[in-house]
Each structure stands twice: as structure tokens, then as C-alpha cells.
Amino acid sequence: MRLTTRDFDRTGRPLRFTELGFGSSPLGNLYRAISDEEAQALLERAWAGGIRYFDTAPLYGYGLAEERLGRFLAGHPRADYVLSTKVGRLLRPVEPGEARDGLGKFFEVPERKERFDYGYDGVMRSLEASLDRLGLDRVDVLYAHDLDLFTHGSQEALEARLAEFMAGGYRALVELRDQGVISAFGAGVNEWQPCQWLAERGEFDLFLLAGRYTLLEQEALESFLPLAEERGIGIVIGGPYNSGVLATGPKPGSFYDYRLAPQAVLDRVAQIHTICERWGVRMFEAAFQFPLRHPAVLSVIPGPQSVGEVMENRIAADAELPPGLWEDLKVAGLLRPDAPV
């Protein structure tokens, strides 16, 4: 079963992304523990559904997601898929008397602590550790992870991390790309503003933007996405359902941005849901399809937590939506007038 693909060749090393990719944070037991067998079933279903782009990170289960993904991919030819992971965090075992990181967020994961390191040596050490956990000799794409306010808490702290990265980690990524160790690099973040800051100061190939170009939010069209299109920078969209609310609908207890959705968000989602119903479209299908309308977008990577969610994402990837849906959303003020549809 084949998926539509989008080719990307900014560096002379072409990559082929499936429009539906696989975000692997659930493999790291995000929010709930799953067994190795369940993780294997998720990946088998994803592969059978045609998915050939897989994204992971050391953060996801403090190495667990990389380990599970690597075991699965070991059974498939290396040329048959695109793989990305991230740098910016180094992991170490907990010391006696220490508590591991991620309590209450990641369950039944290795007893490890994280340390931010966006420097030259930190990036090189992070890649080496990731390759060891993955059991592979290369990845295709490296993203600098979480260079954003959401993670670092203040503008001052973020600016310090950005400066650290541009002084060291960026140089490491350029060297790795120039030496052919990786095919491309960029940043994986929760906000578009740092993406623009970075794009204006370096030669980046790709950005993984989580939750900031969706049916709910299109501020990235102000300046960042036009800049990416102008410079031939590829965009991968994470969090297309804004942590769930665009899939579950406006129900109490729905999540938005990793937290319970506030009433204002639920109200806006209710409006979107009503218009989707009017056109006979399931909202999660529209939420998946919308980002792909932008010419810079290469892939959308939900993080499925069950085989059922993998199958629903596959259905969304094949959905054919009526053009009138987008026009009605614009007329209602729910999509920006300049949003490509």
C-alpha cells in the first residue's frame, strides 16, 4: 500500500518523504506505557500502510523510542526509509538517590537524566549515542531539539541556548552534512519564531514545526513560511491535531498543547467541527490534510498511540476533501485568507 511522497533535494542528497510520517514519541511510553509487542505492532502497521518517514529523539522515553524504532528498522533495507532524530540533550544514568527525569509524563522508561547541550561536542556525542541506541550507522536528518520558549521557560534562557547552538552545535551539523554523514539538518521546535530566527542566521535545510501550523493556528504564515518557501527550506509538521483536540473534537478533557484545552480553544474547535460536519468530512481528516496544502510542507507526522490511530491517520492521508470546506472555514474566520488550500 503506497503513500504519496514528496521529494526534497536541497543538499544534493535527495530524500523522499511520505506525506504521512511516523512521530515516535508514543514509542517512548508518552502518557502511558506500552509493551515492546505493542510498539512492534504499531510500527508493523505503519510500514504496511506505506509510511517510510520515521522521526525520533533521545527525549522520547529517554532513549526507549530510539531503541524500539531501531530494532524494527533493522529488519528493513536502509535505503527504503528516511530517518530523523534530534540533538540538544545528553542522557546519563541516574545516580544513587536521584529520581529519573520525566516522571508523570513518560512511564516505565530507563532510569536516566537529561542535560541540555547545544554545543559542538554535545551534538557529536548525542549523534553517537543515538546511533548506538538505534543500532544503525547513519540517520538522514538531524534536528536541534526544543530551541523554544516552551522548553526553556524565558526569553533570556532561550537566547542563551540559541547563542550556544549557533556558536557550536550549528558548526557540528554543517560539518556532518558537508562530510555526508547526514543528508540534511534543521531544528525541531514548538514555535515558529525560533525557526525564523535560525533561518535568518544560517543555512538550514528543514524545520520540524510542532503544533504551530494547523487548523487552529496559522500565524507562521506571517513571515516564517514565506521565508521557508523562498529559500527552499522543507517543513515537516508535527502535532497536526494540536495534542489531540482536533482529533477528539471539542469534548471536556481534550488536550491542546500537551495540557487540558481551555474553553476558548474548545469553542473554536466546535466551530471547525460544525463546518466539517456540514461537508460530511471528519475533522481529523481536515486537520491532517490542511498543512499539506502549503508548498513548503513535505510530511505530516502524527504520533499514534495505538494501531487504530495508525489506521485512522492512513485514512486521513487518503482523504479527498471538497474545496468548499476550506472556503467556508475562511469565510467563518477560522482559516487565514492567505492560507494555501
Write the pLDDT tens digit of every residue in 67-77.
999 999 999 99
* Distinct helix (H) and strand (E) counts, the chain: 13, 14
Q: Closest Cα partner for 133 from 175, 98, 95, 86? A: 86
Residue 234 — pLDDT band, cuts 50, 70, 90?
Answer: very high
Whether the pLDDT of residue 1 is over 80: the answer is: no
Residue 157: pLDDT above 90?
yes
Is 213 annotated in the active site? no
Strand partners, 106: 30
Tell me: pLDDT of 258 over 90. Answer: no
Candidate list 9, 31, 53, 60, residue with the active-site label: 60
What single string gives the DSSP state of each residue in 260-320?
EPPHHHHHHHHHHHHHHHHTT--HHHHHHHHHHTSTTEEEEE---SSHHHHHHHHHHHH--
Cα–chain center distance at 147 = 14
pLDDT confidence bin for 252, thresholds 50/70/90: confident
User: Residue 106 has what DSSP assignment?
Assistant: B
340 burial via Cβ count (<10 Å: 0-12, 13-18, 19+): middle
Q: Examine the pLDDT at 294 and tell me if it is beyond 90.
A: yes
% of the chain surpassing 70 pLDDT: 100
Q: What's the whole-number mean pLDDT along residues 31-41?
A: 97
pTM over 0.85: yes
Q: Which of 7, 9, 36, 55 is catalytic?
A: 55
Distance of CA 75 to the CA centre of its chain: 24
* Residue 245 and residue 262 in contact, taking contact as beta carbons nearer than 8 Å: no
3-state DSSP assignment of residue 206: strand
Query: Does residue 324 sit in helix, strand or coil?
Result: helix
Active-site residue, 60 included: yes
Q: Span 170-175, mean pLDDT?
A: 98
Mean pLDDT, the chain, as a whole number?
97
**Max CA distance (Å), the chain:** 61
Q: Which of 7, 62, 80, 86 is catalytic?
A: 86
Catalytic residue flag (residue 137): no
Quickly state the pLDDT bin for 310 (edges 50, 70, 90).
Answer: very high
192 in Cβ contact with 209 (< 8 Å): yes
